[in-house]
Amino acid sequence: MILVTGATGFIGSHLVTDLAGQGEQVRCLVRDRKKAEKSLPGTNVELVEGSTIHPETLKEALQGIDTVVHAAFMTADRKESAENHYNETNVTGTRNLVKAAQEAGVKRIIEIGGLGTKPGKPGSYMQGRYLAEQAVKESKLDWTIIQPSVLFGKGAPFIKGLSDLIASAPVVPLIGGGKTMFQPILVDDVVRVIEYVLKEPEQTKGKTYTIGGPEYYSFSEVFDLLLKTMGKSRPKVYAPMPLVGIGAAVMEAVLPKPPLTRAAMTLFSFDNTTAINSVERDFGFTPVSFRTHLEAHGI
């Protein structure tokens, strides 16, 4: 049996739905069973209430588990709150999970990270994601790490944040000039990659896979595509990073779900790209084009 953490999150929910639809038995670690029942399939899915930040809840979840898919991360699109902290969820939670998995006799862990993960300033969002990966790599488990670029698909946080910004703001800010490059990948294609890794334990163990879609887009070009798809016209203005940082801090202070967070700004400190043929080379299929998907399905 497979355990999926973060099963009600964006990638996790798509993965659980697809696996259950194929007849696979999936156990899900969820914080709230009643909420999870509303969003996850009722067949082939077992819900265990708990959290990686509460290690006492992990023993039951891991009993009889062979492989863990770890997607329970607080992503950069979400602001920190009194209940949720990046470091507690991403670092301490991962360390708790690794320790409990080793004690339970789990063989494998597949971590869903993020493209461009690297050491950062102490206490920063990026440093937390880096330390989470290190906890997995230093474990006694067979491990695989998958690092996707920004995701698209219905409800994708990055795209939703930008489209919400377009809908509500009189201008669109080109953070740092809009030149940062992205390689958007469809969430269904990320699920396909995870399922390949699940089926090929020997071939994929001890490897970190960076994956992205079949095209590169500058941040300015992403806005152009979204504006066209939404039928909107907005002036694009240069937004210096310090000024955007102030704006993000203000939005975090007044909005429960801000379209931009200070943590998300780390995505603009480097090109969020990998080899253009990364998925085809390593997994044998060509992922869906961001442009083509928008033309066919809209936002």
CATH code of 123's domain: 3.40.50.720
Closest CA to 6 of 57, 69, 86: 69
At 16, the pLDDT band (50, 70, 90 cuts) reads very high
Q: Is the confidence at residue 269, as pLDDT, over 90?
A: no
Any domain includes 65: yes
- Contacting residues for 54 by C-beta, under 8 A, at least 6 apart: none
Segment 141-165 mean pLDDT: 94
Give yes or no for a contact between 277 and 204, defined as CB atoms under 8 angstroms apart. no
> Among all chains, which residue has been given the structure tokens 């887009």?
217
Q: Is the confidence at residue 264, as pLDDT, over 90?
A: no
Segment 283-291 mean pLDDT: 98
Per-residue pLDDT reduced to its tens digit, 111-140? 999 999 999 989 889 999 999 999 999 999
Give yes or no for a contact between 4 and 29, defined as CB atoms under 8 angstroms apart. yes
Any domain includes 195: yes
Strand-strand pairing, 26-30 and 45-49: parallel
Per-residue pLDDT reduced to its tens digit, 157-185? 999 989 988 998 899 989 989 999 999 99
Check residue 181 and give its pLDDT: 97
Closest CA to 148 of 282, 5, 17, 294: 282
The residues that bridge with 54 in the sheet, in sequence order, are 51
What tokens were used for 58?
């992990």
Segment 63-81 mean pLDDT: 93
Q: How many domains is the chain built from?
A: 1
Least confident of 8-17, 76-85, 110-119: 76-85
Give yes or no for a contact between 70 and 112, defined as CB atoms under 8 angstroms apart. yes
Check residue 258 and give its pLDDT: 85
Any domain includes 277: yes
Check residue 267 and give its pLDDT: 84
At 231, the pLDDT band (50, 70, 90 cuts) reads very high
Any domain includes 88: yes
Give yes or no for a contact between 263 and 125, defined as CB atoms under 8 angstroms apart. yes
Any domain includes 297: no
Closest CA to 49 of 7, 21, 85: 7
Number of H helices, E strands in the chain: 13, 13
Segment 210-231 mean pLDDT: 97
Query: What H or E segment, with its residue span, contains residue 94?
Result: helix 93-104
Q: What is the mean pLDDT of the chain?
A: 94
* pTM flag (> 0.85): yes
Any domain includes 294: no
Any domain includes 236: no
For residue 135, which phi and psi values (nearest 5 degrees)? -60, -40
Alpha-carbon distance of 28 to 49, in angstroms, equals: 8
Segment 88-100 mean pLDDT: 97
Domain that holds residue 199: 2-151+185-212+271-287
Check residue 288 and give its pLDDT: 98
Any domain includes 232: no
At 202, the pLDDT band (50, 70, 90 cuts) reads very high
